[in-house]
Structure 1
Amino acid sequence: MKRVNIYNTQPEAYHAIFAVEKYVKESNLQPLLEELIRTRVSQINGCAYCIQMHTQSALKAGESTERLFALTAWRESTMFTSEERAALALCDEITHISNSGVSDDTYTSAQRYFSDEKMAQIITLISLMNLWNRIAVSTKIA
């Protein structure tokens, strides 16, 4: 079944999203952390298109295949730093926000590693990836 192509139908929507992408790319987030977050959100949302795109970007940025393979089980893995684990916990809870929001424990843990500026950048990135995933999955972009 053919679905709407938002880029062709409503290019203004994509221009707005790309403005947020520009903000994220100009932020000072570490490229590997950015790609871990993008990939993890996409895994949770089942967005094959974005998983493929961001695992490839992560590999190009120097990420290991072993860590990418372990990303779905990051809580049980010892391959991720405490800082990455704090960001991934935030990522999981924001992506599943309807379950119970973002817990104070998760938020406080992330604040141990990230300044308010970085927290804002990470929350924006997670929210942006959820938007991209919802567009890709609902319109079957891949």
Structure 2
Amino acid sequence: MKLRLDYREANPAALQALIKLEGTAMQMNPDKTLYELIKIRASQINGCAFCLDMHTTDARKIGESEQRINLIVVWRETPLFTEKERAVLALTEALTLVANAGVPQEIYEEVRKHFTEAEYVGLIMAVNAINSWNRIAIATGMFPGCYEA
């Protein structure tokens, strides 16, 4: 595989904008496990191998189990995720696939059972951040290890 282009070199301002968005989203979402669940699920949906590799690795580093990492893709079919995590995963899917049905009221209400208004906005920012990273990675042909070669 070959990287199409290194966006970091081609347009450093783009990288800085995404880093700023990522930093803001991270500050708004102090729960690292939830943050990685968002990143993994959105990257699965978007088919971003680079980001999926990165965030499953990051999840392992913070103690996430292989079983849960492997089953995020089918989170509805397993009891391994809490109600709060399920709400976040549902929101992640709805926002990542926003053109399909928007964010249904029932997803909003379930998320709001667990999160304040400010935290809800933080979750939206986290989903937006990973979707932006996914789109950069996919559009430029990034793949696991592409910057190591």
Is the shorter-chain TM-score for this pair beyond 0.5, marking a shared fold?
yes
Deviates more, 1:26-35 or 1:1-10: 1-10
Mapping for residues 120-135 of structure 1, pairs under 5 Å: 120-135=121-136
Contact preservation (8 Å) 1:39, 1:55: yes
Deviation at 1:24, TM superposition (A): 2.1
Structure 2 gap segments, 5+ residues each: 144-149
Amino acid at match of 2:49: A
Equivalence for 2:30: 29
CA gap of 1:97–1:28, structure 2 versus 1, over 3 A, is closer
Matched residues in 1 for 2:91 and 2:31: separation?
A: 16
Equivalence for 1:63: 64
Equivalence for 2:77: 76
Mapping for residues 1-142 of structure 1, pairs under 5 Å: 3-142=4-143
Matched residues in 2 for 1:4 and 1:59: separation?
A: 29
The number of aligned residues is: 142
Structure 1 gap segments, 5+ residues each: none
Amino acid at match of 2:5: V
Deviates more, 1:84-93 or 1:4-13: 4-13
Matched residues in 2 for 1:11 and 1:36: separation?
A: 28
Deviation at 1:139, TM superposition (A): 0.8
1:35-62 alpha-carbon deviations (Å, 9 max, x no partner): 0110110000011111110001001111
CA gap of 1:8–1:78, structure 2 versus 1, over 3 A, is same
Where relative contact order (Cα < 8 A, 6+ residues apart) is larger, the structure is 2
The percent of aligned pairs where both chains have the same amino acid is: 37
TM-score normalized by the length of structure 1: 0.95
Amino acid at match of 2:22: E
Deviation at 1:66, TM superposition (A): 0.5
Deviates more, 1:79-88 or 1:20-29: 20-29
